Structure 1
Amino acid sequence: MKFTPLPAPLEIDLSKSVLKPVTEEWSGPCRRCLTDARTGESLLLLSYNPFLGSSPYTSPGPIFVHYPECDRAYICDGSVPEQQARRPISVRAYDSDHMMVEGVVVVSGGGGRAGFELQKKLEELFEDSKVDYVHLHYAGAGCFAVRVDR
């Protein structure tokens, strides 16, 4: 599977964004590098639309990104990134017309099972030929997390 942090172009308008210092560990998931910001780093809170086509499901929403840039890069190895593995995730599968095929919330376990349930659900969804791609959102706040492709 391919995890794409920001599938659509990221447009930063500082006049419509908020700079947030990170004061607690695990409180700021950056969507560029798919890692959590460390205490003392700064994140920019801004609105982002992850869709690459027209759909009634298009939903711009808040995301965090390191500011001014990430000091680490995300490298996809096909496994669920740690950032998504430890959080409850809303899994939204779409067809090639950007219409939702299925939506479900997955809560992965801690320890050695982190990400197992999410990985299993993604594999199950991609067995359905109608599913073209999946958007993951953080279940609590509903913010876009990452796009997943076969």
Structure 2
Amino acid sequence: MPSYQLVGLQPDEFEPLFLLTDADLKARGITRHKADSFPGYPCRISLEDAREGEELLLLPFEHHRTESPYRAAGPIYVRRGQSARSLPPGEVPPYVTRRVISLRAYDEDGLMLEADVVPGTSVADRLEAMFASDLVAYVHLHNAKQGCYSCLARRVA
């Protein structure tokens, strides 16, 4: 049985932002976009790339809220009207497999234990290897080229 599950962000904190004016968004460091290619606009809620013409927000997001030195934030895209996605254990979607991915494994205290950069097609094997250690509590995936947060891999029993 797979040892991990990929999980998207909860939409609740993002959905109200779509109602703001572009000026209000700019004041918060957020920009509104329409996807003009596919793939290219990875939504961190649905764990899918936006289709051409879909509305997204590009915003700063604290993806590693921890009291460790590894606290981190960076830019993410989110699409309007998406539901949070939890994939079946062991499933790695095209959103991940079509990119080069950086994996960062953390313990319960938010301290990094291990990191690697692999083609997206190798993510499943690396996650299994990382979660083989009982010390690994969770793994963050990042799009390696741009460095932005992609999603969370959590341990499943």
Both structures adopt the same fold (TM-score exceeding 0.5)? yes
Where in structure 1 are there 5+ consecutive unaligned residues? 109-114
Query: Tell me, what secondary structure is at the counterpart of 2:64?
Result: coil
Pairing 1:45–2:66 present: no
Residue pair 1:6, 1:50 contacting (<8 A) in 2 also: no
Pair 1:59-2:64 in alignment? no
- Residue of structure 1 in register with 2:6 after alignment: 3
Provide the alpha-carbon RMSD of the alignment: 2.0
Instruction: For residue 133 of structure 2, give the secondary structure of its aligned residue in structure 1.
Output: coil
Q: Provide TM-score, normalisation by structure 1.
A: 0.85
CA contact (8 A) 1:10 1:48 kept: no
Kindly indicate whether structure 1 or structure 2 has the higher relative contact order, using CA contacts under 8 Å at least 6 residues apart.
2
Aligned residue number for residue 101 of structure 1: 113
| Alpha-carbon spacing, 1:128–1:73, altered in 2? closer, same or farther (3 Å) | closer
Q: SS in structure 2 opposite 1:120?
A: helix
Matched, 1:126 2:137: no
**In structure 2, what is the Cα distance between the partners aligned to 1:6 and 1:74?**
8
Q: Is the 8 A contact 1:31 1:64 kept in 2?
A: yes
What's the CA shift for 1:10?
3.8
Identity of aligned residues (%): 37
What TM-score do the two structures reach when normalised by structure 2? 0.82
Match of 2:153 in 1: 148
Aligned residues: 141
SS of the equivalent of 1:149 reads: strand
Asked if the contact 2:142–2:150 (Cα under 8 Å) also holds between the matched residues in 1, the reply is: yes
Q: Which has the higher helix share?
A: 2
Q: Aligned to 1:118, what secondary structure does the other structure show?
A: helix
1:4 & 1:54 partners in 2: Cα distance?
A: 22
Which stretches of structure 1, 4 residues or more, deviate above 2 A after TM superposition?
A: 9-15, 72-75
Distance 1:139 1:51 in 2: 16
